[in-house]
Chain A
Amino acid sequence: MSDSVNIIKNQEKKRIRKEKNKRLFRAMFDRKMVRVGAVGVALFILIAIFAGVIAPHDPNATDVSAILQTPNKVHLLGTDQYGRDTLSRIIYGSRISLIIGVLAVSISCVAGLTIGLISAYFGGWVDMIIMRLCEVVISIPAIMINIALIAIFGNTIYDLAVILGISTIPGYIRMMRAMALNIRRSDYVQVAQMQGARSFYIMLRHVLPNSISPLLVMMMTNVGTTILAEAGLSFLGIGITIPIASWGSMVNQGRAYLISNPILAIAPGLCVSLLVICLNTLGDGVRDAIDPRLRGEV
């Protein structure tokens, strides 16, 4: 008897969970902008994965007979000063840019959140030291830090991702700390403390979920700035090793031909903007969908 009741209850619970997931999904994708963003991001990822299949030419093959061509039938987006096919380079470059952008942001976000939470939670000397260190990092121009770190670690894609990530960590730490300090004072955190909850539980269950919204927005914007920061490093000649294509370095190279052959800089630049726009709309959708207060309001 009681078994059958339990089975019914379990089924009920499963149904509720399913319903919840469905609600979350609906809340996210009921928004038209979010659908556009999601499709866009998916497209960029597919292009990056299947670059070898899609690209019409070898991205690094030079052709002295066809330099600086404007868009034509053979080279859909023209060629650069070495006669390399711009479209193919953009397609291959998506790999580098996506990896660096996403990886760098993930690293800085995870590190920043953890350190920020620790700082807010322990307070006192720990907080003091962490915050002063943050100020030190912020006071030095990011490019200087990056140059120094590249000199130490090298400049493979993964090195670059880590290095570009490190310089944005203080932003996340400060944001997380400010949110956490605020939420820690709220009544519901005090209730949990009165029930004897551990700090770790409170941080994970209350503080983190309630501070996620602004952090999500910050992450999505940072993907774009990181891709462009990589370009800055390429400009100094310490970014991605030549001849590997990345959007950032392509914008940089195309800069010299802005008047004679503008597509060289505009095409990869447009890609960066498109990716950032897609990520932002998707990010906004995720933020709204996981916020119960906004859920269901399209």
Chain B
Amino acid sequence: MSGTLLKVEDLQTKFRAGKITTLVVDGVSLDLEPGEIIGLVGESGSGKSVTMLSTIQLLPGTGFVSGGRVELDGDGKNLINYSPKSNEMRKIRGGRIGMIFQEPMTSLNPIMKVGEQIRESIMLHQGLSAGEAKKKAIEMMDLVAIPDAEKRYAEYPMQFSGGMRQRIMIAMVLAGQPDILVADEATTALDVTIQAQILETIRDLSLKTGISVIIVTHNLGIIARYAQRIYVMYAGGIVEQGMSAEIFHSPQHPYTRGLLNAIPRLDDPVDRVLIPIPGMPPMPQNRPQYCPFYDRCLYRHDRCLTLPKPELVEYEEGHFFACHLDENEKKAKKEEIDRQVHQFRPEKIILDEVCLEVNNLIKSFDVTRGFLQKKIAVINAVDDISFKIRKGETLGVVGESGCGKTTLGRTIMRMYTPSSGEIKLFGTNIASMNMREIKPYRKQMSMIFQDPFSSLDPRMSVGAIVAQPLKISKICKSTTEIYNRVNELFELVGLDTSMRERFPHEFSGGQRQRIGIARALASNPALMICDEPISALDVSIQAQITNLLEELQSKFNLAYLFIAHDLAVVKHISDKILVMYLGRVMEVALSSDIYENPMHPYTKALLSAVPVADPLVEKTRSFIGLQGEVPSVFNRPKGCPFNNRCSYAQERCFREVPQLKEVGKEHTMACFL
């Protein structure tokens, strides 16, 4: 153990496309001490994954490392000098540096037992016999907290949930006994609760085995909770680095400040204003000679344009940032920005008129099997849900995936026919109407989807996409009327009307989501169902869309049903929050109440799983690890649906289903406690 474990210096990576080579990673330096957990944070396209792949020379396609040094243990050997296919490099991958990726499904061989996959990895790296390796594999599975390791050794990947698969991946990586574990967005695809479980496991491993960890992510909360040191990446370079607490408490680079201003936090005050970072990060091929953040920078100065790209300079010990501005300039600018902030927040008016009222809504699906479609079970995806949304109000719906949030939204949109219950739109019950009767009511509600790529028809111009609801519901009669209305909608969502003849693929994710919002607004709806509208977007773009939604709400008194798994965002945008679990309501409360005074054990566990982007706050929070995962629809617990994961469960919880009861002002929950 002599000094730095991994030292990367001035790493440069290029990608070749035809005759043109593009510099993707532009001079990244970082180091990692034994046993340390560091975070590499940045938006998509910032080059964080490519940086990590470059260190083990495992670049996809036409990528190649064009310069720099990568050194392990300070032994003076530059790994870049080895050919990517050399034996030395192969030994380092897996043997010294192990990586886990976002998609655990594609990383595992679906037709091989998981235990054997781990065993093979152990045999390869540690040269043990099959019998010894099997024992070791089970040990590994225990280590990454897979329950019943011995039994589950012989199961196939499809029998595991996403979180469990990710644990298996970690076990496989550990089999090589690496000194460094790189987790590249390893928990991004998972639920917050599972994400917390996995990251806790990784941290425990680091403490137990002394393995160093590099967490690569876009999520600042995770970084704040788990990383000791942080590197912030932008446009292929490090813009700021330092100890976790310093980065969060005295961020020096305008980009770091921008990110922190753009993300909502669980502990935000009610009137918190998000300040989005305007525009988009530059594509690697069009990065400017000057500071790459200049075009989006709120602090920018004219001289930034004439000076070359800024180098990292030391601010305090161990805290570096790359910016031309001096302290006084930044201070003055910050005050100016703070003054302007309050103009951003649109006024919130909630009217008394109830827009949507849902009473005892149940949507069940039959599970059938065999040729004759025999009914073997009935599943209540939405089970006895009631709520009201007034005009101008936002109701947030949260819960882990598989809890029926999306089904709820789609049932209200009448994509599904409810099994029973009422859906009242301004007093008219649309729950049992047939498709023809319901048509006139369709224009009063619309939906925004999660994936801005699949929700727009790639063969239609965006103008035609936005015009579609106008044509279908025959709101506009003449083509001129449609033409004008589409222009108006484009302006409303902040898109240039000259872009209307373009096609969806020519737009970025954020712009596509704007198009989706314009389409949803076209028929002048009173109710908008937003199904994870921002979770597919980059951090800096999320704030732009959140603010747009708030602005539109105050302009048109829209009622929102906001479905999301990101509690911080839901808390920021919602007036009331409904916590759902296995199709049932667990708790409903004002959004400020739910954070300060959560009553239901499930709500408490959910909240504690969400990391807050502030290391100091994180230290004071107690973590209630939510055990296990959402049970499959086939074996729902009897009694309270949450009983098998609840640490307070009593005998009664297994017999009776708790009903919602009043526990405070506009605060109800379903628990016997």
Question: What residues make up the interface of A, taking CB atoms closer than 8 Å to B?
Answer: 6, 9-10, 13, 16, 19-20, 186-188, 190-197, 201, 205-206, 209-210, 290-293, 295
Selected contact of B459 from candidates A10, A201, A210, CB within 8 Å: A210
Q: Which of A186, A187, A290 has the most CB of B within 10 A?
A: A187
Q: Given A187-B454, A201-B472: A194 and B415 within 8 A (CB)?
A: yes
Interface flag for B181 (CB, 8 Å) = no
Chain B: CB-nearest residue to A13: B483
Which residues in A have their C-beta under 8 angstroms from that of B504? 292
What total of chain B residues lie within 8 Å of the partner, measured CB to CB? 35
A191 to B528, CA, bound (A): 13
Which residues in A have their C-beta under 8 angstroms from that of B451? 187
Chain A: CB-nearest residue to B450: A187
Contacting pair A188 B483 (CB below 8 A):
no
Selected contact of B523 from candidates A16, A20, A195, CB within 8 Å: A195
Q: Which of B438, B443, B460 has the most CB of A within 10 A?
A: B460
Interface flag for B659 (CB, 8 Å) = no
Contacting pair B439 A196 (CB below 8 A):
yes
Which residues in A have their C-beta under 8 angstroms from that of B479? 13
In the complex, chain B residues 466-482 whose Cβ is within 8 Å of any chain A Cβ = 468-469, 472-473, 479-480
Q: Given A20-B501, A190-B415, A292-B505: A196 and B458 within 8 A (CB)?
A: no
Chain A: CB-nearest residue to B520: A191
Interface flag for B456 (CB, 8 Å) = yes
Interface flag for B581 (CB, 8 Å) = no
A290 to B459, CA, bound (A): 8
Interface flag for B503 (CB, 8 Å) = yes
Which residues in B have their C-beta under 8 angstroms from that of A10? 480
Interface flag for B662 (CB, 8 Å) = no
Q: Given A194-B442, A194-B447: A188 and B472 within 8 A (CB)?
A: no
Which residues in A have their C-beta under 8 angstroms from that of B414? 194
Contacting pair B483 A192 (CB below 8 A):
no
Could you list 21 examples of A-B contacts with CB < 8 Å? Answer: A6-B480, A9-B483, A188-B454, A188-B455, A188-B465, A190-B415, A193-B415, A194-B414, A194-B415, A196-B438, A196-B472, A197-B472, A210-B457, A291-B459, A292-B458, A292-B461, A292-B503, A293-B458, A293-B503, A293-B505, A295-B503
Which residues in B have their C-beta under 8 angstroms from that of A206? 457, 459
1/0 per position for B485-527, CB-CB distance to A under 8 A?
Answer: 0000000000000000101110000000000000100010000
State the Cβ distance, B568 to closest chain A Cβ, in Å: 25
A187 to B413, CA, bound (A): 14
1/0 per position for B408-436, CB-CB distance to A under 8 A?
Answer: 00000111000000000000000000010
Contacting pair A195 B458 (CB below 8 A):
no
Interface flag for B449 (CB, 8 Å) = yes
Which residues in A have their C-beta under 8 angstroms from that of B461? 292
Contacting pair A191 B447 (CB below 8 A):
yes
State the Cβ distance, B673 to closest chain A Cβ, in Å: 39
Contacting pair A16 B413 (CB below 8 A):
no
State the Cβ distance, B490 to closest chain A Cβ, in Å: 15
Q: Given A192-B468, A195-B473, A195-B523: A187 and B501 within 8 A (CB)?
A: no
State the Cβ distance, A182 to closest chain B Cβ, in Å: 11
Interface flag for B542 (CB, 8 Å) = no
